[in-house]
Amino acid sequence: MKPFFSYCPNCKSTHFTFENNFRFHCSTCNFTYYHNIAAAVAIVFTFEDKILFTVRNVDPDKGKLDLPGGFIDPNENAEAAACREIKEELGLDLQPKNLKYRTTSPNNYPYKNVPYRTIDIFYECNLESDVISVVAKDEIKELIWIKRSEIDLDSIGFVSIRKVIGEFYSN
């Protein structure tokens, strides 16, 4: 894996190791940096036998199926992040008690040449209506309800989402 730093950010040396883009260590000045994983949330909305997917309007994986959610902010807990993202993306007011923890799964999120890696925390939320619309039209092209028996895993972009949907929600 090619390092996404060309020089040590501390001393500009090119004598460094950055194994697997995780632990950066400069042998000239001893600067060390851990490119730790980021935490993100994904929400699986269910209604009857259907699952709600978003269609991504931005890279990575533009045009592919995704779930509502996003990165957790510093000092924010995962449930609050999920509620905030749902409000921003879909305009729904949820409380943490509406969310049921399901599982976690690691993901890759390449953005502007930086290979971020995440741990995605999955919550489930059962809705009493399938009437739901997009607020964040810049991020989400459209919403699609898909029957569990008709989910095409290959149309899902992120590996974490594909894995969890395949494991728990498609049949």
- The DSSP element (H or E) to which 160 belongs, if any, is helix 159-164
Strands 38-47 and 69-71: antiparallel
> CB–CB of 1/16 below 8 Å?
no
Binding residues among 21-40 for Zn ion as defined by CB under 5 A: 26, 28-29, 31
Minimum separation from the CB atom of position 27 to Zn ion (A): 8
Minimum separation from the CB atom of position 79 to Zn ion (A): 40
User: Which amino acid type is present at position 14?
Assistant: T
Minimum separation from the CB atom of position 32 to Zn ion (A): 9
Binding residues among 70-89 for Zn ion as defined by CB under 5 A: none
Nearest 5°: the CA angle 102, 108, 9 is 130
Strands 100-111 and 32-34: unpaired
Rounded Cα distance between 57 and 50, Å, is: 22
Minimum separation from the CB atom of position 8 to Zn ion (A): 3
- Quick one: which of 8, 65, 72, 146 contacts Zn ion (CB under 5 A)? 8
Minimum separation from the CB atom of position 23 to Zn ion (A): 14
Q: Cite the DSSP H helix spans in 15-77.
A: none
11 binds Zn ion (CB under 5 A): yes
44 binds Zn ion (CB under 5 A): no
Of 126, 40, 24, 27, which Cα lies nearest the Cα of 84?
Answer: 40
Rounded Cα distance between 20 and 76, Å, is: 28
- Number of residues lying near Zn ion (CB under 5 A): 8
Q: Which is nearer to Zn ion, 28 or 133 (CB)?
A: 28
- Quick one: which of 13, 14, 126, 133 contacts Zn ion (CB under 5 A)? 13
- Quick one: which of 4, 10, 71, 163 contacts Zn ion (CB under 5 A)? 10
Contact footprint for Zn ion (CB under 5 A):
8, 10-11, 13, 26, 28-29, 31
